Structures are given as structure tokens and as C-alpha cells.
Amino acid sequence: MNKELNDRIFYLFVMSTIRIESIYDVALSKLLIDEIDELTLSSPSEDVQNLLGVKQNIDIHEVNITDIDQKVGIQLQGNKNSVKNLERIIVDKLPYVVVHQMSVQKDAIFLATIERVTRKNLVFLDLGETKGILFGLRDQNYRQGNTIVVQVKELPTEPDKLPVCSEQINLSGSYVILERARESNFVRVSRKINGPQRELLHEIGKRVKPDRFGIIMRTSAADAREDVISEEVVNLLEKWESIMAEKKESDNKQVSSGDTIVEISFNKSTKDFLDKIRENLGVQIPSYHSLRSYSMATSYALEFGKYFATPENIEEMSEKLYSMIFKKDYRVNNSTKIHLQQISGIIEEEGLGKITEVSDGEFKFVQTVDKYLAEKDISNYVLFEDDFIEVYMKQGSWTVYYKYFGSDKELIGQRVRIISPLDLIFRGRFRAVDLGVDIYLPAEEGASVDVIKEESMEELVSQGVYSATTAEKISDIVTEVTRKLENSEFPILI
């Protein structure tokens, strides 16, 4: 059996229903419909219904796909097997995406030991294999060494941050969510359900809700029988009682993994690929996904403009929006920053200095080194106050090019950082994934090019962080950068 056929059969048996709530919904839906036999899309958007002929439904879904912060990619959340196999399709089919695998999952439940409590009632927790924090209640008597039940609510996205936990525990089923907290005693119904059906579900919720719990009736409960909902509530209640039983016997361990969550970073190349999928479905504004993800204002403008788009005016619409972005956010003398997401998922912000030149999506920056930058710069060069750095970047480029100069204007050396194709993000900033490869050429006579890799690309491919195609592309870029450095070509923007 060939690999492609085997993959399609595997996908069929693992996954059947997905919900997509994303600016990329049409293109992703089309991609997945073509790859997964008998796929059902739960709660499809109006665009998906109209462009792909998908019928409205509220089926229970195995995976929910949503946008991550600043629309720079997507998050997959659901049961482990379905998430992993959906991730596999996306990595195989979308160009140059990067997968960020979380060491702790959102909604995971832990028996945690209190390590210490600060004066501001910030509680530091031992979760077993990791640590966490809890913003404690003023009237709660937290004591070092006590064991409490917590659920992870927020995953860290910055260096040196910890998962944020809460004593509010949500137990999710297919039809309901049970909430256990200090004052949980409510019945709520999904906002997507209206009219008599909403009132009926509210009454059912009152009948099946356990004491000292709140209950949320999910959208999927709309067509479910009361006995099915009641049975699920009983099962979730038994899960809670099992957790409490374990609390009496042990501590510092995970007792429920929660949904599996994976974040997948997109880039300029990914968005261009998704644009082409939409183009094949009808009239499409160029750079649709890049413009929609740039800001809320550009997203609204596109959503409004698509009703008036024709083959004759679509180029002009895109050009006008980009012209507005560059004039407002990327003017000469503006100071700006780049958000570099690490393979781990942590985001590091790096100042670029002032824009000195802008031309055809290419940018030049000049940054004077102060005491702080001299201490914090992560390059291989030793910098002092009043040295300066020239930085060159281009939208869609795989490289950031640096030239380091002493205060006497003598060249110290060059550096090329390999990144995922560069994106523009809101308020005149830039964004990319740092792929962990830096290439140096010091200015000393006889110096040779030095390629530094933080991690083995083969290992990252085997871990599913990115595809073999991406690894081959990175290798090709390293070869090209090395050649350009040796031939004194600059700026090196590939």
C-alpha cells in the first residue's frame, strides 16, 4: 500500500468532525476536505457554507481550530490522537509551518503543593514535573506545604514565565461543562442557542446540575436528549470524585491531561499558499490572509471590500491597504521591534532601532549600542557603548542581516539569522520564528564563515516541529548565505 493511500485511511479512522473558527477557515476547510474522507465541519462559517457548499450543523467535534494571538497561526485543541493527526496533515501540506509543542497542556488538572505565598497573595506551586502560579484570593488561607487541586488556565508565552493556574475547575464533556469553584451554582446556555430551545436547555440544566457545581450547556447540547446529557453529568461528577479521592493519597502530580493543544505558526509563505486556495474558489483580493491578520482595521476593510471585489479592482484594493500600512506604521525614523518566536513557543522581543530606509518591502535600521544593549546582545560579538548595528530585513525574507560597527565606524563583523519568512504585524512591528541557525563572518583578516545551529534539524524533523521540506530549504539558505558572505555580497536577504 503506498504512503499517500495509507495516510488517507489512517486519517479517516482517527478523525471525523472539526470546528474551525479562524480567519483562515475557508482555505483550511478546503485543504482538509480534500485530505480527509467523510470529514464533517461543525458550525461552519457563512463563507465556508457559501464557497464550499458545506451545510450548517452543530455536531460534536474532536478538534477545535482557532487563531492564535495576532492571527500569526492556529491552535489545535481536542483529543490527542485527532490533534496529532490533524497536525500531521497541516505540516505535510502547508509550506514552512512550525509546530510549537507545549510541555504542559491547557486545562490539565494537578494535585499541587504550595511552595510559597507572597505578600500580594501570589501562590507558587509545585506541579510535579513543572511549576505553576496561582493568583490567590485575599480571604483564602494558603499555607506552605498544603495540597490543592488546580487547573492550568494560561500557558507561558514569555521567557521565565510559569503556567497560570486556578482553583476553578472546569470538567468538559461533549454536551456540558461542569464548573467547580467556591461559588459555582449556576446554569448557562451557549450564546449560539436562541429561542425556545435555549429556555428548554436552561430547564434541563437545572434538573441535572449537581449541588455546588455550575453547569454550562454547550452548543452541541441543542439536539441531545435529556437522559444523554444527564448520563454525561454523572460521568463528569465521578471524574471529580476520583480526583478528590486521589488528593487524600498523593500530591504533586497530574490527574487529568485536559485537551491536547498544539500551536502552529504560519508565515508569509504559508499565507500566500492559503491565498491561492481561496483564489481557486472565486475572486480573491491579493495578500488576503496577510492583510486580514495584520490588524482589526485591515481585517474589517477586507471583509467589507470583498462584497465589492471584481477581477478589475482587486489589485488596487490590496495596493491601497498596503500603502496605508506603510505610510502609517513603517515610516522612516519610526522605532520598531521584531517578535521572534522560539521553537519552544516562547516569544522574545528584540528592538531594531529606527527605520532609515524603506523600499519595496525592504527595510534598513540603525541602532546605537547603549549600556543595556551591550550587556543583552546575544550575538557572538563583544559590543561596547556607542558601537552601532545596521539591520536589514524584507517582508517574506528567510533572513535578518546584521552589520556590526565600532564607534570608529570600523566593521566588527556580519551576522545572518535564519528565520521563517518575515511577516508584518500590527503597529509597525515584525514577526518570525527563529529557526535556531546563525551565520557569522568576523571582519578580521583571514576569518571564515561560522555556521551555528542550536539544534539538529534532523531531530526537529523527527519530532514533528517542521517538515523535511522545511529542513531542506533551511540547508539551501545556509549554503546561499555562506556563498554571499564569502563573495562580499550584501545585504543578504533571501
Instruction: Read off the CATH number of the domain in which 344 is found.
Output: 2.40.380.10
CA 74, CA 293: separation in Å to the nearest integer? 12
What is the share, in percent, of the chain residues with pLDDT greater than 70? 96
Do 457 and 396 lie in one domain? The reply is yes
Do 340 and 481 lie in one domain? The reply is yes
Do 118 and 223 lie in one domain? The reply is yes
The last residue of a domain, from among 271, 296, 329: 329
Do 213 and 125 lie in one domain? The reply is yes
Do 165 and 293 lie in one domain? The reply is no
Could you tell me if residue 302 is left (phi over 0), alpha (psi between -120 and 50 degrees) or otherwise beta? alpha
Q: Count, in order, helices (H) and strands (E) of the chain.
A: 13, 25
Per-residue pLDDT, 155: 82
Do 114 and 128 lie in one domain? The reply is yes
Do 190 and 126 lie in one domain? The reply is yes
Do 92 and 35 lie in one domain? The reply is yes
CA 412, CA 442: separation in Å to the nearest integer? 6
Whether 132 is in a domain gets the answer yes
Domain of 210, in residue numbers: 109-258
CA 414, CA 87: separation in Å to the nearest integer? 37
Give the strand pairing for 98-101 and 109-117. Answer: unpaired
Q: Where are the alpha helices (DSSP H) in 365-467?
A: 371-376, 457-462
Query: What value does the CA radius of gyration of the chain take, rounded to a whole number of Å?
Result: 26
Do 163 and 212 lie in one domain? The reply is yes
- Segments of the chain with pLDDT less than 50: 1-14
Do 481 and 340 lie in one domain? The reply is yes
Enter the pTM of the model. Answer: 0.84
Count of CA atoms in the C-beta half-sphere (13 A) of 299: 13
Do 28 and 149 lie in one domain? The reply is no
Whether 278 is in a domain gets the answer no
Say how many domains are in the chain: 4
Phi, psi angles (nearest 5°) of residue 114: -75, 120
Buried b (16+ CB within 10 A) or exposed e, 426-458: bebbbbbbbbbbbbbbbeeeeeebeeeeeeebe
Do 254 and 294 lie in one domain? The reply is no
Whether 267 is in a domain gets the answer no
Whether 271 is in a domain gets the answer no
Whether 265 is in a domain gets the answer no
